[in-house]
Amino acid sequence: MSKTLYRHALNRALDEELGHDDNVVIIGEEVAEYNGAYKVTEGLWKKWGDKRVVDAPISEAGFIGMGIGASMLGIRPVMELMFFSFAYVAFDQMINNAACVRYMSGGLINVPIVVRGPANAGTNVGATHSHTPENLFANTPGLKVVCPATAYDAYGLLKSAIRDNDPVYFMENTLLYGDPAAASEIPDEPFTLPLGVADIKREGTDVSLIAHGRSVIVALQAAEQLQAEKGINAEVLDLRSIRPLDEDAILKTVAKTHRAVLVDENKPFCGVSAQIAATIQEKAFDELDAPVLRVTSIDAPAIYSPPIEKEQIPNVRRVIDKVLQLG
């Protein structure tokens, strides 16, 4: 079985869900005739037509709001953002409306919308196009946040997100779309993966590297180098979902290795890893043989300079250095 690239896995999931449910539609900037800014929707407009794959104007507040309204009436919109940074101009719709409607209607109105697109730095597109807002959305009750690291997970989790009756914000990474390290063998038979279930990507005994999104790939590469050069056997836990968060998996790996390094492309202040560190401190403190350490993006707006930005986001050397600090 040949490996499937991350972008092709997403494309297959979208294609299958368009066929699975007539209420599924794709809406976003350049998703139709142009085949998507990152070619994730390539071929879907030609196959499914204007009513199922719809180009939107450059007005995120407008078309995200329209999608939320449509989802309240039974449509299952999949909204593509060219960058998740652009979600900031639709915060009222995405947080104040999508997250609260089911609660405020006493459970009578669902909002089965998916908003997907890249949420990452590392591509030298400047500070206003490089945000990783999974922590901001995960802070809001009523929202689900998914950050897959591999093509296999992206495929199965996107199908589940589209079928979910709550709003799911599905955050990808531009660098993963064509990265062979994120490619996976995917069975021909369709499948889904449950939201909120983490996955051990590498078994280990000496330290737990806990990560999500592209940071999982970085953690895996660091783990291989630690094994080869230092004889340190690192376990890599892929969170896959930020909310719901698989706390049981986090506590289980910490109880196994007794050391944890959290790898997270968020900024350090109030980031995802800060929440995980608090969870470990509160619920697994007695299992720790060393402090919980973090590798995050350096706390500044995304740096435009390519060599400096590579140092700003988590990289293999920074992860290894942090592991070695544990002693």
- Which residues are annotated as catalytic? 60, 129
Do the strands 114-118 and 24-28 form a parallel or antiparallel pair, or are they unpaired? unpaired
Return the HEC string of 40-65: CCCCHHHHHCCCCEEECCCCHHHHHH
Distances from the Cα of 12 to the Cα of 43, 86, 148, 188, 311, angstroms: 10, 25, 15, 11, 34
Do the strands 293-295 and 260-263 form a parallel or antiparallel pair, or are they unpaired? parallel
Single-letter amino acid, residue 319: V
Residue written as token pair 């209420």 = 23
| Closest by CA position to 67, among listed 151, 168, 153, 152 | 168
CA–CA separation, 28 and 80 (whole Å): 5
CA–CA separation, 271 and 132 (whole Å): 10
Name residues whose C-beta falls within 8 Å of residue 239's C-beta, 6 or more positions apart in sequence.
Answer: 147, 198, 210, 211, 212, 245, 246, 249, 250, 272
